[in-house]
Every structure is written in structure tokens, then in C-alpha cells.
Amino acid sequence: MLGEEILYLPLSELARRIESKKLSPVELTESYLERSRKFGPALNAYALLTPEIALEQAHKAEKEIRGGHYRGSLHGMPFAAKDLLAVKGLPTTWGAQPYASQVFDCDSAVITNLKRAGAVMLGKSAMIELAGGSSYRFASASLTGAAKNPWNTSCWTCGSSSGSGAIMAAGLAAFTLGSETWGSILCPAAFCGVSGLRPTYGRVSRFGAMALAYSMDKIGPLCRTAEDCARVFAVIAGHDLRDRATLPLDKAAFTYSPATERRPPSRIGLLSNAWKSLPPEIAALLANARKILRRSFPFIGSAALPTGPFEDAATLIMNAECASAFADLLRSGAAAQLADPLEQLSVYVSETIPASDYVSALRIREQLQYKMEELFDSFDILVTVSQPVTASKLDLNLETGLSFPDPLGAIGNLCGLPAISVPCGFAPDGLPVGLQFVGRAGNDLGVIQAARAYQKYTNWHKKHPQLR
Amino acid sequence: MPDDLEPAGPVKGRSISRRQFALRAAMASAATSLAPGSLLNAAASPAPIPQQPAGSPALSPESQAEVEARVQSILGRYGSRFSDEQKSEIRRLSAALQAPLESVRAYPLNNAASPALYLKPLVEREKRPAPPQPAAKHKS
């Protein structure tokens, strides 16, 4: 079996070795499967392991590559998909008891794209039930229990792509897929010390994915590096007639190779008002990141997010859409089967949001979109830490203990802005801290390039926890 | 009787304040979930508005009425499903929803401000002149 020094390599390096036939996709898959069996259950990382499918796909990839038919950097690459993505014939539970036996007869669009690229599915990663629904109180809000952080198993990975974060940090796969409505890719990436990309809204088809909030849901990768995120994003991005929210062909598609990075972003705006306050240890890491960014970017200025009721608008939109998406749970009473006491009830309250207030929130959203367009006329990329805290304890009451203003999360998700979180150091508690790059809608390449430039000068993404 | 608690219904020749409107809208919303008998009783003698749970945000009488209407709407449809503790929790969550609702309502929007149904700036960007190229700006 392959050792940690291989299994924690970036996807880009694994791909180079697979393409040159120095690394066997079958051996890589077997090694990740063995490691997943060994560490996955204790971390509550997987909803389902699919070794038969994985090995079949790995053997097929290996045969093709040996035959000279190399499809690209995901060919023979083992991954796990968040359990809200339909895979034909397999349980797709959405992390929730009411859907525990749900099986779809088709693949989600991203799974189809990954199959076409020759990627190897190890299994479905665990998640917070219904991707968090209207709200949840505990990390245990999941059919599979609380996902434990490989850096400290008394801590959480953050949600709702909780298993995807755990799998990456524990070196159980080469990449994972997550989804974000508000924070569910960037927060697990930050808490788990990995790189996570939230693409522009509409660049990745949600066909076959559970809907939480139709106008806010995005699917994106969690990987070791920003470059890895770009490689996965290039495979899953694209217009899809089956998801009418996807952007037109020319704006949805994404192609990537390091050679495409011709003109990197140059104007960085360090956000002055993204967080109410930062603990000194996290502020120090941000100050250090600023010094490193100066090596790559000629202009770093102070930027301020527009102020207004944007968190409130995001809350109303997300919750109203959630209530509609899960109306069946309300009507049937099956919401009572959810694991989290807050999630059982919050959707009932969300159903009472008046339609006129929902529309007003959508109107505020458009005002905000133009305000952000103006801000991006002055800055290419906005930067701040991904979270003002490190990973929370597993038993923390999230409603009271992990509740702080998050205007950037609200604005980024309301406006569908691309963002990436990459590791930028460790707090004194030994837990990783993430650095967040946010770009103009459509400028996914810009945030990737900025993060990649940062990672050229840092090694935080090469650190990994020691598991026993 | 305070002006805000006058019986709901249009009064010819009088304008109504935003506060009154909010209260009336809330009462009307609640009425949809009430059984006819209780609706008659409510019209004859408005039910007292229960105290908010400890720790709930301080609310104006109008907001409290709206919260109560929300609670009654939920309990009217689904009440038999909930324990007393859950009903209390629904009341707390209903009160917590009031702040974002009022914040959104207070934001000035003119009639022409339309809802964002797609990434309009992204789609429309091509129609605008491109912003100055940053790389050129900082060249020495």
C-alpha cells in the first residue's frame, strides 16, 4: 500500500505520475480505500464507501492509460462526493433520516462529468442533514453523526460539507466535492486546513443535487491546493440545459492549465470590515499573509464591504427557499425525524416568511450586486481570513457559540461570487486557519490565481495531521 | 384604547400608519389559519398577546403581534405535532425572525428596483466599457 507521502500529494502531482505511468490508479485507489476503511468510521467521514465501483473504475482507467488513452488530470483519480449528489442506484441520503433509503435512477451532472473524465468514486462523503436546512444547533445534525476533525478529533470539521473536509484532511481521497449555500465549502476548508473553491453561481450544474436554496446553491471542490481546485472545477463547470440557473455556454465553461494564467490579478483589497473582531493569533496570521501577498501583488489596499441588511436578506432568501424545497417534510411531519432539535422546527418558521419580504430581499440582492461590481472596479480580489475562529468543539451549541456577523459570507453567496479558502497557518491550539480570496462574479480564475500565487510562497497546504 | 390596537379594517377617509399596516397585515395573516369559531371570537375580543420567552429580542407591540400571528399560523396548521417545549421554541424562533424581516423592510427600494433573478451584472458586463486594466495602471 502507498504511504502518506503519496496519499497527501496534490492531485496535480498524482496526475503527473499517473500520466507517466509511474503511479497505478488501481494501487492508488486500493490505498485510499484501505485508509478510508481504517480512519473513515472513527471520523464519521463517509456516508457510504463504494469499493466495488471504485475498483472497477480504477481498473478501467488503468487499462485505458496503459493503452495510451489518457483523458486528463482526473483520469484514475479517486474522489468522494458529498451525499447530496445523486449517483444512479446508490443511496443518496442528503444526510437525513427521512431520505435514508432514497435512490435515484440517474447520476447528477457533476458525477456524469467526473465519470467522463475517468475519475474514480470511492464513496459518498457525510454531510449535515439537508445541508443545514434553515438552521441547526449541533455538529451531530447528521444521519452519520458529527464529523470529527482529523487535526483534533474533539473538534468539528464545520458544515455542511463536513465529511468532505474530514476526508481531505485525513488523506482519504485525492479530492472531494462539496456544496455551499452559505459557508459550506469555505468553512470546512478552513477548519480542516485544505483548499476549497466556491465557484461563481451558475457555473456548475446542480442537476441531480439536493436543493436547499435554489438561488444560492453552488457545488465546488475541496482539494489540497488551489491548482487542484482549478483542475476539478474545469471538469465539473459548464452550461447544462437541465439546470436553468447555469450561465450561458461561454460564461459557464472553465478551462485550466497553469499556462492559462497569463495575467494574474494585481489589485488586492484587504477587507477592513469582514469581521467584527479577530483574535490576536488569527490577526497575526492575516498580517503575515499580507506580507507574503506583497511578493506577488504590486498593489494591496484596504477595502470595505458595502453595509446594509445583506445578512438579513440572505437569511430570508435562504430560509424561504428552504421551506419551499422541503415542503414535503412539513406536510408529512417527517421533519420530526431529523437529528437536530433546531432543524426539526426551524423550517416551520421559515415557511411563514411573507412572499413580499422574500421579493424585497431579492430586490436588495440586486442593489448589492451592483455595489459589489463597483467595489471590484477598484480591486481584483478581496482577501481576509476564512473564519475568525478555529474549529469548534464537537458538542458546542452552534446557535450561540458559533454565531457572529458574517457579512462577507452573506454578500458572497447572495451575489454568487467565486471564493477560495486556502490554509494560512495554525493557531496556538494547533488548528488550521484559512485565508479567503473573493472575486467578481465570473472571475473564478482570478481567485484561483491569487490563491495559487500565495501557495507558491507557503507550505501550509503541505501540512497534514498525524492519524493513528 | 391605543390607536395601534383599533379594530382592523379599512376606515374611509383615514390613512393608516406603517405600524398599523404591519399589525393589520399580521392579524390578517393569522386569521387565515384560525378556525371560523375562533376567528369570530378574535374579532369580538382580541386575544392577549403572550409574553415572549426570556432572552427574546425586545419587540414593539406591532412586531410582537406579527410574531404571535406567525406562531398561531404554525400551531394552527401543525400544532398537534409539537410538545409544549417545542411550541415554546417555535415562539422563540418566530421572534428571532422578526429582526431580519424588519431590517429588510426598512431598506429603501424604489419602484424600479427589481429582484435579482440571475447574475445580472455578470451578464450585462459585456455591455459596459471594460474597467481600466489593472496591470497597465501599476506599470512603472
Contacts of B90 in chain A (CB under 8 A): 345, 348-349
Do A267 and B134 count as a contact with CB atoms less than 8 A apart? yes
**Radius of gyration from C-alpha coordinates of chain A:** 20
Q: Which residues of B touch A (CB under 8 A)?
A: 25, 29, 70, 73-74, 78, 81-82, 86, 89-90, 93-94, 97, 99-101, 103-107, 109, 113-123, 125, 131, 134-135, 137-138
Quickly count: other Cβ atoms within 10 Å of residue A387's Cβ.
25
Testing the interface with A: which of B66, B89, B90, B122 to mutate, by most A Cβ within 10 A?
B122
Contacts of A308 in chain B (CB under 8 A): 107
Q: Does A77 touch chain B (CB under 8 A)?
A: no
- Dist. CA A372–CA A227, nearest whole Å: 26
For A330, nearest residue in chain B (alpha carbons):
B78
Task: Per residue of chain A (468 residues), give pLDDT as tens.
Answer: 999 999 999 999 999 999 999 999 999 999 999 999 999 999 999 999 999 999 999 999 999 999 999 999 999 999 999 999 999 999 999 999 999 999 999 999 999 999 999 999 999 999 999 999 989 999 999 999 999 999 999 999 999 999 999 999 999 999 999 999 999 999 999 999 999 999 999 999 999 999 999 999 999 999 999 999 999 999 999 999 999 899 999 999 999 988 777 777 889 999 999 999 999 999 999 999 999 999 999 899 999 999 999 999 999 999 999 999 999 999 999 999 999 999 999 999 999 999 999 999 999 999 999 999 999 999 999 999 999 999 999 999 999 998 899 999 999 999 999 999 999 999 999 999 999 999 999 999 999 999 999 999 999 999 999 998
* Distances from the Cα of B74 to the Cα of A100, A160, A291, A337, angstroms: 27, 27, 54, 18
Catalytic machinery residues of A: 82, 160, 184
Q: Is ipTM over 0.90?
A: yes
CA distance A346 to chain B (A): 7
CA distance A270 to chain B (A): 16
User: Which grid cell is B134?
Assistant: 489593472
Q: Are strands A267-271 and A299-303 parallel, antiparallel or unpaired?
A: parallel
For A355, nearest residue in chain B (alpha carbons):
B101
Q: Does A315 touch chain B (CB under 8 A)?
A: yes
Containing H/E element for A423?
A: strand A419-426
Nearest CB among B104, B119, B125 relative to A312 is that of B104
User: Which grid cell is A281?
Assistant: 493569533
- Dist. CA A258–CA A413, nearest whole Å: 27
Contacts of B99 in chain A (CB under 8 A): 312
Q: Give the 3-state secondary structure of residue A459.
A: coil
Contact yes or no for A301/A379 (Cβ under 8 A): yes
User: Which grid cell is A244?
Assistant: 436553468
Q: What is the pTM of this model?
A: 0.89
CA distance B115 to chain A (A): 4
Cβ contacts of B27 within 8 Å, gap of 6 or more: B8, B65, B69
Rounded to the nearest angstrom, the gap between the alpha carbon of residue A410 and the centroid of all alpha carbons in its chain is: 16
Cβ contacts of B52 within 8 Å, gap of 6 or more: B59, B64, B67, B91, B92, B95
